[in-house]
Amino acid sequence: MNTKQTIALVTGANKGLGFEISRQLAQKEIMVLLAARDPQKGTEAVEKLQLEGLDVEVIQLDVTDSASITTAAQQIRDRFGKLDILINNAGIYLDRNVQPSELDINTLQQTFAVNFFAVFNVTKTFLPLIKLSQAGRIVNMSSTLGSLGDTLDPNSPYFDFRGMAYQSSKTALNALTVQFAKELADTSIKINSVCPGWVKTDLGTTDAPLNVEQGADTPVWLATLPADGPTGGFFNSRQPLAW
């Protein structure tokens, strides 16, 4: 059952960075499972990439739904017997420009549900399948906005950005990366956090300076790291970023 082909799963991949990461991985002859919570949107996205001749299939996955995660993992186990690359990409940014004192607790909880708890649940559920890979790679889509060092730096271009829910969810995600990296230190699995840069997507808005091709570069690099590549790090533009 264990296929020699490299299999990747990208969450929240029906649009934006997840879609472009799926494209770039498939261009490297990797078989990509494009995950979408809405199967219709996922199918439409897959059809676009298949028209480019790429090996991409849709899989239904709502990262906040444990049953959906378990079903997807079972489908991948039955079909491929392993998972090589997991990109925890699905994310939301609901509190742009909201001050902490104005933040609704429901927004905070909703943000953590997708950006943090879901990543934990997906990673934990898929880990047994990733352990069956020769060279498992996990990439967590974080943000410079989650860097405490950058947030405190008055010279940062993002110093005046506000969004405590989004920012702290990505800080927590970075902690998750470090904790899993420590547990997996003696395995061939690498897990890293990445900021793709500020990228033009529905989340990044049209104000962003980068396009999705640029934004996907470092996540794809981390997804395809060689055996001597880093683990437990936080990267932007293929360079380490302050925690």
Ligand X SMILES: NC(=O)c1ccc[n+]([C@@H]2O[C@H](COP(=O)([O-])OP(=O)(O)OC[C@H]3O[C@@H](n4cnc5c(N)ncnc54)[C@H](OP(=O)(O)O)[C@@H]3O)[C@@H](O)[C@H]2O)c1
The contact set with ligand X (CB under 6 A) reads 11-12, 14-18, 37-38, 41, 62-64, 89-92, 114, 141, 143, 195-196, 198-199, 201-204, 208
- Identify which of residues 97 and 101 has a Cβ nearer to ligand X in the complex: 97
Residue 191 to residue 156: CA distance in whole angstroms: 26
Cβ(22)–Cβ(34) below 8 Å = yes
* Nearest approach, Cβ of residue 142 and ligand X (Å): 7
Q: Do residues 177 and 191 touch, judged by C-beta distance below 8 A?
A: yes
CB nearer ligand X, residue 50 or residue 214: 214
Cα atoms in the 13 Å half-sphere on the side-chain side of 181: 19
**DSSP secondary structure of 60-73:** E--TT-HHHHHHHH
In whole angstroms, the minimum distance from the beta carbon of 94 to ligand X comes to: 11
Q: Which residues are catalytic?
A: 166
- The two most distant CA atoms of the chain are separated, in Å, by 54
23 conformational bin, left if phi > 0, alpha if psi -120 to 50, beta if neither: alpha
Q: Which is nearer to ligand X, 208 or 225 (CB)?
A: 208
Return d(Cα 12, Cα 88) in angstroms, integer: 8
The answer to whether the CB of 86 falls within 8 A of the CB of 155 is no
CB-based contact 35:10 (threshold 8 Å): yes
Nearest approach in angstroms of CB 213 to ligand X is: 13
- DSSP readout, 107-123? HHHHHHIIIIIHHHHHH
SS3 state of residue 207:
coil
Q: How far is the CB of 223 from ligand X (least distance, A)?
A: 14
Nearer to ligand X, 62 or 217 (CB): 62
To the nearest whole angstrom, how small is the minimum distance from the Cβ of residue 21 to ligand X?
9
Pick between residue 41 and residue 131 the one whose CB is nearest to ligand X.
41
Query: CA angle at residue 76 from 228 to 63, to 5 degrees?
Result: 85
